[in-house]
Amino acid sequence: MKTETTFKPGLEGVIAAETAISLLDTEQEKIVIKGHDLIELSKHNDYLDIVHLLLENKLPSKEEKAALEEKLKERYQVPSAIIEILRLLPEHTHPMDGMRTGLSALAGYDEHLLDRSLAVNKDRAYDLLAKLPAITVNSYRILNKQEPVLPRKDLSYSANFLYMITGEVPTAQRAEIFDRSLLLYSEHEMPNSTFTARVIASTQSDLFGALTGAVASLKGHLHGGANEAVMYMLNEVDSVEGFEELLMKKLHNKEKIMGFGHRVYMKKMDPRALMMKQSLKKLCETKGDFQLLEMCEAGEEVMRREKELYPNLDYYAAPVYWLLGIPIELYTPIFFSARTVGLSAHVIEQHQNNRLFRPRVHYIGEKY
Ligand X SMILES: CC(=O)SCCNC(=O)CCNC(=O)[C@H](O)C(C)(C)COP(=O)(O)OP(=O)(O)OC[C@H]1O[C@@H](n2cnc3c(N)ncnc32)[C@H](O)[C@@H]1OP(=O)(O)O
Ligand Y SMILES: O=C([O-])CC(=O)C(=O)O
Active site residues: 223, 262, 314
| 204 Cβ contact partners less than 8 Å away, ≥ 6 residues apart | 116, 351, 354
Within residues 30-89, the interface with ligand X by CB under 6 A covers none
Stretch that binds ligand Y, among 44-52, 66-74, 116-124, 259-267 (CB under 6 A): 259-267
Stretch that binds ligand Y, among 30-38, 256-264, 297-305, 344-352 (CB under 6 A): 256-264
Give the residue nearest to ligand Y (CB). 191
> Is residue 224 close enough to count as binding ligand X by CB under 6 A?
yes
User: C-beta of 91: minimal distance to ligand Y in Å?
Assistant: 30
User: C-beta of 97: minimal distance to ligand Y in Å?
Assistant: 19
Within residues 313-352, the interface with ligand X by CB under 6 A covers 313-314
User: C-beta of 223: minimal distance to ligand X in Å?
Assistant: 4
Distance of CA 206 to the CA centre of its chain: 20
Among 151, 191, 209, 225, binds ligand Y (CB under 6 A): 191
Among 20, 81, 222, 248, binds ligand X (CB under 6 A): 222
Within residues 299-318, the interface with ligand Y by CB under 6 A covers 312-313
User: Which residues contact ligand X (rule: CB under 6 A)?
Assistant: 10, 222-224, 226, 256-263, 307, 309, 312-314
User: Which chain residues interact with ligand Y by CB under 6 A?
Assistant: 188, 191, 262-264, 312-313
